[in-house]
């Protein structure tokens, strides 16, 4: 599959990343090379094969624990590493317009 720089830019937007023009050029070339390598997967006959997403299917999977209250991090501990906080909450730039 051929990938254009526009497409790479679009994926970057989805991933919340940004590349300048020079980075974009280098990146697109590497990206193309890797995607070309991936092409070999299309040769494998896989009709009727279900994708494997968890390596231990015979295990009980992901069982849920009992829904009981347990102690968790205090508000102070949870906020201790936040780059910006106020009034016991994480602070982010304004999301909604002032209007």
Partner 1 sequence: MNEICKLTIVELQRAIAQRELSAAEVCGAFLSRIEEKDPQIRAFLKVDRKGALRTAASIDDALAKGEPPGPLAGVPIAIKDVLVTRGLETTCGSRILEGYHPPYSATAVEKLQQAGAIVLGKTNCDEFAMGSSTENSAYFATRNPWSLDRVPGGSSGGSAACVAAREAPGSLGTDTGGSIRQPAAFCGVVGIKPTYGRVSRYGLVAFASSLDQIGPFARNVRDAACLLQALAGHDPADSTTSPKPVEDYPGALTGDLKGLRIGVVREWLESSLEPEIADAVGSAVNRLEQLGCSIDEVELPHSRYAIAAYYIVAPAEASSNLARYDGVRYGFRAKSAGDLAELYRKTRTQGFGSEVKRRIMLGTYALSSGYYDAYFLQAGRVRRLIKEDFDKAFSRVDLLVGPTTPSVAFRLGEKLRDPLQMYLSDVYTVTANLAGIPGLSLPCGLNQDGLPIGLQMLAPHFEETRLLQTAHALEAELDVTTAAEV
Interface with partner 1 by CB under 8 A: which residues? Answer: 1, 3, 8, 11-12, 14-19, 27, 30-31, 33-35, 37-38, 40-42, 44, 46, 49-56, 59-60, 62-65, 73, 77-78, 80-84, 90, 92-95
In angstroms, give the least distance from the CB of 13 to partner 1. 8
In angstroms, give the least distance from the CB of 87 to partner 1. 15
- Pick the closest to residue 37 from 1, 86, 84 (CA basis): 1
Cβ closest to partner 1, residue 25 vs residue 34: 34
The number of helices, as runs of H, and strands, as runs of E, in the chain is 3, 2
What is d(CA 25, CA 58) in angstroms, rounded to the nearest whole number? 45
Burial of 3 (0-12, 13-18, 19+ CB in 10 A): middle
In angstroms, give the least distance from the CB of 6 to partner 1. 13
């Amino acid at each position: 599959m051929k990938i254009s720089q526009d497409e790479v830019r679009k994926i970057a937007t989805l991933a919340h990343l940004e590349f300048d023009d020079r980075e974009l050029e280098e990146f697109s070339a590497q990206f193309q090379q890797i995607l070309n390598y991936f092409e070999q997967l299309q040769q494998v006959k896989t009709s009727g094969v279900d994708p494997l997403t968890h390596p231990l299917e015979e295990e009980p999977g992901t069982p849920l624990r009992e829904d009981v209250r347990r102690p968790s991090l205090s508000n102070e501990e949870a906020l201790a590493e936040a780059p910006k906080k106020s009034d016991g909450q994480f602070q982010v730039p304004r999301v909604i317009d002032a209007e």
